[in-house]
Structure 1
Amino acid sequence: MSSCASSPLGSWLAGAGGEFNSVLEFRKDAFGTSVYAAQPLPAGEVAVSCPFSLAITPTSALRCFSSLLKPSASTPSNHHLMTLYLALHLVYPSSSELPKGLQLEHYPYVETLPRPDEMRTPCYYTDEELRLLEGTNLVGATRDRLQGWKVEWEQLKELLGDKEVAEKLSWESFLWACTILSSRAFPSSLIEGPSADSTPVLFPGVDMLNHRLGAKASWITDVNEPAVREPKGKLAIVLDEGVEKDQQAFNTYGPKPNEELLLGYGFTTPSNPSDLVALKLSLPPSSTWLIDLPTTLSALNIPDLRHFVPRSGVIPPALLAQMRLLVASEEDVEAFNENGMGGNRGWEEVLGFLGWENELGVLDALQGMLEMKLAGLKRGEQVAREVEEASVRGGIRENVEEYRRGQIDVLEAALVWRQERFEETVGKAKEAGIDFMMEDVEEEEDEE
């Protein structure tokens, strides 16, 4: 245990006008290094503040190593700038080792951050630990993230004019920097005010508070106070609830599903009410289309084939609208064309209903999609059970199981919603005088 205020990070913050509350201290726990109250901390107190002058921004990062870039190099992306600046602190762990032209200003901050061997996001899983994710969306998401970051790493090495620095910029240091940025960045609007082009910003000290769903904390910035010039500005975390002695002080990242928490932060929230399941439609071969699907969906302003189902299981209306076109018969396409896309009519009206048989076709296809997804999760669950305990580091199995359980719960709720919608649709069709081939409907009901 050590006082946050008197720690090297706390002293560094204080020297620039920031602070840790005097009753807070760093303690090691299952989450790594966390912030606890050594004495009761009443609501309304500032837990920690960081002056804008110590914030890491793309602009401040570039200023510290611009001379190391090739003169002909294109301007690096904001992500390149931030991750390179962080990674160089690992490449050169002491300021006495810095090559000419490189200035690193955040050693007191970087020294408090988790080391690569402490990371628990899927990008750091071993091959055996990755087997725990079998059947989930995170298998592909982890692979895609690693591939994307490796491309960026290679690009950065090409941008560096200093060959020695480029050779020392290891994949391990860059992966660490990417993980730190993805899990700790704040929006630049906290410094600049509302902007359509927000960039990632790191606020040393402020990011030491862990996330708890429902934690009552406010991010307070004086960016909108005209009397305060930017160099004197700061971001503060104000606790809107009291913290008892020996209890952890929490920040909140807002409502995030466990899929996002596990991928980006390495932890999950039990029974997370914000859990979502991602469903992505696959378009059939174009030779089978009765209508140009991509062009039509773009014209209706619903081109994205990826959708998210919440805990309630309610299927997003845009997904149902797209599926009405996917299963459409020639008669349905005629109805769609008659509905038209002109004027102020949006997709909700144009694709809200194409016919009773079309509606049942959508619900039939939806059932297949949900059941296939659910079966994959349950097969993966069996694979995960075969992974030996000794090959999995502490906390990883529990987090993956919590994530998988939430995915299964959402899909089961979606199947219940689909069945209720099916029964409602059949009832309305009968009221409208539609005479289906009832043996088909009864057969489907028997399968439920």
Structure 2
Amino acid sequence: MGRGRTQRHRRRKHNFSRSLGSDSSFINLLKWMRRNGFHGTFLNPANFRDTGRGLMASNAIRSGDLLISLPENLLITTDTVMKSYLRELIIRNFPRLSPEQVLCTFLICERCRGRLSFWRYYILSLPKDFTTPVYFQDAELCLLPGTIRTRAFSEKEKIVEAYNQLEHFFSNVEAAFPEFRGLFTFDSFRWAWCVVNTRSVYMKREKSVHLSEDVDHYALAPLLDLLNHANSVEVQAAFNMTTKCYEIHTLTPCKKHSQVFIHYGPHDNVKLFLEYGFVLPKNDQNFVEIPFSKILKSMHELCRSKQDRSFLDWKVSFLESMDSLTKLTCSLDGVSWKLMTVMQILSMEQGERSAWKSILLGQSACSDRCAKMAAVSLKAILLNELEILKALPKVPEPVQEIYHGHIIKQLRNEQQEILERSVELLESG
């Protein structure tokens, strides 16, 4: 579905909107769209206090209503690029470019072409920067909790690698089109990368023999990409082969003059931050994942002999064979069943080995002794995670990038709340 937005200052305040109907960039965007087959919509661009830019309903919306219908010629896909001036260069390039790389290159070139670009008014409506991790300073990312920090740095490494892979292709484009010389900077690529990855809709396409084997599912959709995400709504979105339009139907009613939302998927705030650059104030999908490496380290410390360590390794091999070493989580509802079960197996004695599989599959329960040991060990692990979290450097006040600091603080506070609640539930057990 539509992707994330920049500067989404989500606050717990009364929501109000300011119409963007007089904003020249949106006036020109809508005029251009109508000239090219768009039949209009009852959704109007507006600026909302809690989400920033979004779309407001000019009429009451009922379940099943069509929110928006965009003709295929107003979608930017790899097909669009393969029909452009870049086609021959893409075909001749080896190794094959990915759909993301092709779309990023096209966006950079079209932004440079200005008035000559068919996509000019769409590009002018796009954000100038983003709040995904690739726009954070390293010092800012170091203020994040450990697992989030690792994933955020991984996102930065990924985009640098993608940019470096294009060095030869960018040189070829500049040689073929002198007007693009000096255009392909890292900053321009970062902007295009974030446009593609935060604002595209899902539209799976046939693989092109001229592109890499990566799945091609990106489509940039003018106006539609202003729709923001909420957990409480349901939509149906797909390309209609009959009308040749990308259509979104809502299954959730909406009042007149309210913001219209869509649903990107059941994402926690960490995923929303990493992929889209925003967080929700109260997200019931939030969880904290406990890395198995930390669990294993804690359990190794309890081993008193070589035999104990050997038996622990045997348990780990069993859990690995059952694909049970990942997605070990806790939430505001407490420790997940999977995490607790893994801890129970790690706490079992030699004589209980025959029950491992049935316990892991939920077919039987462990002994009271084992359950108690697992809870005690897990509580110690969670308390250690809390200590590490609280020991992180304080987010500076005032922060250089206010919204960056807002995201960092919220992610830290949410993790702390979940860990403290999980410990509390273990104690009351």
- Name the TM tier (shorter chain): 0.7 to 0.9
User: Offset of 1:146 from its aligned partner?
Assistant: 0.1
| Contact 2:201 2:220 (8 Å CA) reproduced | yes
Instruction: Report the counterpart of residue 297 of structure 1 in structure 2.
Output: 319
Deviation at 1:325, TM superposition (A): 4.6
- Aligned residues between the structures: 383
Residues 263-312 of structure 1 show CA distances to partners (whole Å, capped at 9, x for unaligned) of: 33332222222211121111458x8443456653343233x434332321
Among residues 362, 369, 372, which one is paired with 1:360 in the alignment? 372
Q: Deviations over 1:329-372 (max 9, x none)?
A: 4x15xx32x3486xxx694158x656554433322221122112
Farther off after superposition, 258-267 or 319-328 = 319-328
Choose from 263, 269, 288 the match for 1:252. Answer: 263
What aligned pairs does 1:110-129 form with structure 2 within 5 A after superposition?
110-116=123-129, 119-126=130-137, 129=140
TM value normalised by structure 1 = 0.72
Instruction: Provide the rounded CA distance (Å) in 1 between the counterparts of 2:55 and 2:416.
Output: 33
Of structures 1 and 2, the larger Rg is shown by 1
Amino acid in structure 2 at the alignment position of 1:57: T
The one-letter amino acid paired with 2:124 is E
Q: Residue type matched to 1:146 in 2?
A: K
Q: Is 1:270 equivalent to 2:290 in the alignment?
A: no
- Residue among 89, 101, 112 paired with 2:110: 89
* Post-superposition CA distance 1:166-210 (Å, at most 9, x none): 863221122222222332232225x88xxx967233322211122
* Residue 120 (structure 2) aligned to one of 75, 100, 107: 107
2:166 is paired with a residue of what secondary structure?
A: helix
* Amino-acid identity (%): 19
Quote the residue 2:6 is aligned against.
Answer: none
CA distance in 2, matches of 1:128, 1:72: 37
Task: Report the alpha carbon displacement of residue 327 of structure 1 after superposing the two structures with TM.
Answer: 4.5
* 2:201 alignment partner in structure 1: 186
Q: How far has the Cα of 1:19 moved from its partner? A: 4.1
Give the Cα separation in 1 of the matches to 2:345 and 2:83: 52
Distance 2:268 2:128 in 1: 25
How far residue 144 of structure 1 moved from its aligned partner, in angstroms, is 1.0
- Rate the CA distance shift 1:123–1:41 in 2: closer, same or farther, 3 A: same
Partners of 1:324 and 1:362 within 8 A in 2: yes
2:332 is aligned with what amino acid? R
Q: Would you say the 8 A contact 2:268–2:286 is kept in 1?
A: yes
Letter of the 2:21 counterpart:
S
Q: Determine if the alignment matches structure 1 residue 403 to structure 2 residue 416.
A: no
Tell me, yes or no, if structure 1 residue 378 matches structure 2 residue 400: no
**Distance change >3 Å, CA 126–CA 9, structure 1 → 2:** same
Residue 187 of structure 1 contacts residue 198 of structure 1 at CA under 8 Å; is this kept in 2? no
Q: What is the TM-score of this pair, normalised by structure 2?
A: 0.75
| Pairing partner for 2:192 from 177, 202, 208 | 177
Q: Could you say which residue in structure 2 is the equivalent of 1:203?
A: 221
Matching residue's letter, 2:62: A
In 1: Cα distance, 2:359 partner to 2:80 partner: 45
- The whole-number CA distance in structure 2 between the counterparts of 1:59 and 1:289 is 56
- Give structure 2 stretches of 5+ with no counterpart: 1-19, 175-179, 207-213, 301-305
Structure 1 unmatched ranges of 5 or more: 97-103, 422-448
Indicate how the Cα distance of structure 1 residues 362 and 2 shifts in structure 2: closer, same or farther if over 3 A, else same: same
The equivalent position to 2:32 in structure 1, one of 12, 16, 23, is: 12
CA shift digits 1:138-160 (9 cap, x unpaired) = 32221111011111111122345
Question: CA 1:322–1:167 in structure 2 vs 1: closer, same or farther (change >3 Å)?
Answer: farther
